[in-house]
Chains A and B, each alone.
Chain A
């Protein structure tokens, strides 16, 4: 038995919470009801998920790597690709860790209990930092593990070293996230750090992949990251094959010396950062929770009161709330980051007067779908005063229509400049983007409508756990509309077929959606 208040005791407590969080995530928070035989249905569902998901991921990894794995050699081009993969995983882990650290500062949950207890809170925070690293490693192993396993099977057991690299990357990214967030906290102060850190996290998360795409676009004229990584340009601009820069790639490919180096390096970074900052976490969390309570005053612009018809009032309210919530705005518009590469592509094409790559159409359509999905969640499920609007003398459809109109307006504002610019190059492509985007946005909104469940706007980032069917189907339908848009540029008939597939998926999703009570 561990002594109360000790590191081990906190670790056991955290493990229990983490397990329950994992269960809730996998079951979308539904309560555990016994099945017909009286066994807990939730645990059975989790068990089925834990078995089927890895099988599915292994099948995907097998299909992707079957012909590749046996022929991989430890040369510079391979190191470049493997290092890019590691950096990609690392940037995602760093972003996730920054998000978690920020959440720890700003969401009280059990902080007041812990800080008011006669224990060394620093120990708990040390455990929580370690837990962040472990959960980050676990999640990445869940996704990347099957690929490592297939590589080990097809290419040799030395590939199992990649697990060690993943562990090192998650330890390093967690340590960096703690240091970066605390640095931001010191520079920006508690009032701004939350927003800035979360935007920074999103940018870091997308930066590497976007950067690669922009580099690929500028050097090879395509959006193919893989082509860029294998290009002569990349080969001539990277460090020498013997450089320490390639140690993580060497480690992933089974060089045990490199693996030991990478693991030791990550631990040497993690331990001092945790030892230095864990005891101070309590102070930072307290500072964050007791930050200035100065109220924000709004300027009325000389006009105090403006009453509009119900639908207009609703639309105005939604626009106001969105514009006044920079965090929510940044979260929902974060997908626009991924528009940077196509924007560069479009700019380049305008300059050269050449045809725009087919890639642009599906990227924009997918963005429209994803953006609409997020905004629809905010306006429909994230209504902060549902009782107020539902008790108003307005039909349910009238309410929803006003909210849907806001979503469509926002998507239109974002996508219109792209479609407009594209119309200068190709009217057909502009039309494909306009129609495809409208269809994808409408589909995502419809899915959010069918699967709506009341929540708080502040839970925006956790919306995906409320219904995995909604999340997956939203992505699937957006992809299908994107495909339809891409095909429409060259062949109307095939585009119509793809559109029918999208509508078919929508019909299936509608059938799966819960009935309104």
Chain B
């Protein structure tokens, strides 16, 4: 595995996927190591499709994806080993407890037992799930389910964390907690790629922002770079986003 710091955390070249009509249409994207990258775009822009192809949940029609130098299409298992994925709809098992869920995830990612156990307890505590660690998830609120799913995505300490709308439906407290967890992970040197419709969050958290529309990247840069391109130093991300996608 290439260890060079210059190797991008995620590199997408000429990615295409069509479901009758193009969903992703020749997308090029590069995320640096240790970067918090926000992928924005209107509904149906191709954000989720792109992320699902990166995580190996969808096969692209064309193009290349590499994760820390690993060709994700040729060596999917190696790539999956260092990716953590959280979808917008927390998919957990109702009949398992959070600890049992993490036990299962640790098995899937072959995390060493003692390490997994320590991390699982840390994550459970960190995400405020300690009192519910032995309760079945079936009665959990959406926020709690999202936290369990997030703990699962982080358990194997992925180098690249990919999140699709992770804050949808969360209350302020839970959203804050999730954001804090992500910021901590970026500080620890991990890369985060996240989609969101909450532009204020992108504005505050992202190192760089990519705007995707019609399956193509139509704008990219830091907030300042986007403002420079927009020609208005005080422009909000919302103003710029609407102008870009329209």
Contact = CB atoms under 8 A, between A and B. Distances in A.
A295 B132 contact: yes
Given A305-B99, A385-B91, A393 B77 contact: yes
A307 B99 contact: no
A394 B91 contact: no
A300 interface: yes
A297 interface: yes
Interface string B129-162: 0001011101100000000010010000000000
Interface in A236-292: none
B80 A309 contact: no
Interface string A52-82: 0000000000000000000000000000000
A297 B116 CA distance: 22
A306 B57 contact: no
A80 B111 CA distance: 66
A30 interface: no
Interface in B38-77: 55-57, 59, 76-77
A321 B95 contact: yes
Given A296-B135, A307-B113, A393-B80, A313 B56 contact: no
A395 B95 contact: no
B108 interface: yes
Interface in A282-328: 293-300, 304-310, 312-314, 316-317, 320-321, 324-325
A324 B112 contact: no
Contacts of A300: 99, 134
A304 B152 CA distance: 16
What's the dominant secondary structure at chain A's contact region?
loop
B136 A295 contact: yes
Contacts of A490: none
A286 to B, nearest CB: 18
B222 to A, nearest CB: 29
Nearest to B94: A384
B93 A385 contact: yes
B169 to A, nearest CB: 17
A324 B136 contact: yes
Nearest to B141: A293
Given A320-B95, A393-B80, A308 B107 contact: yes
B139 A317 contact: no
Interface of A: 293-300, 304-310, 312-314, 316-317, 320-321, 324-325, 384-395, 517
Closest 10 CB pairs of A and B: A313-B107, A392-B108, A385-B91, A295-B135, A305-B117, A324-B95, A307-B113, A393-B80, A393-B81, A393-B77
14 contacts: A295-B135, A297-B136, A298-B100, A305-B120, A308-B107, A313-B104, A316-B107, A320-B100, A321-B95, A325-B95, A387-B85, A390-B56, A390-B57, A394-B77
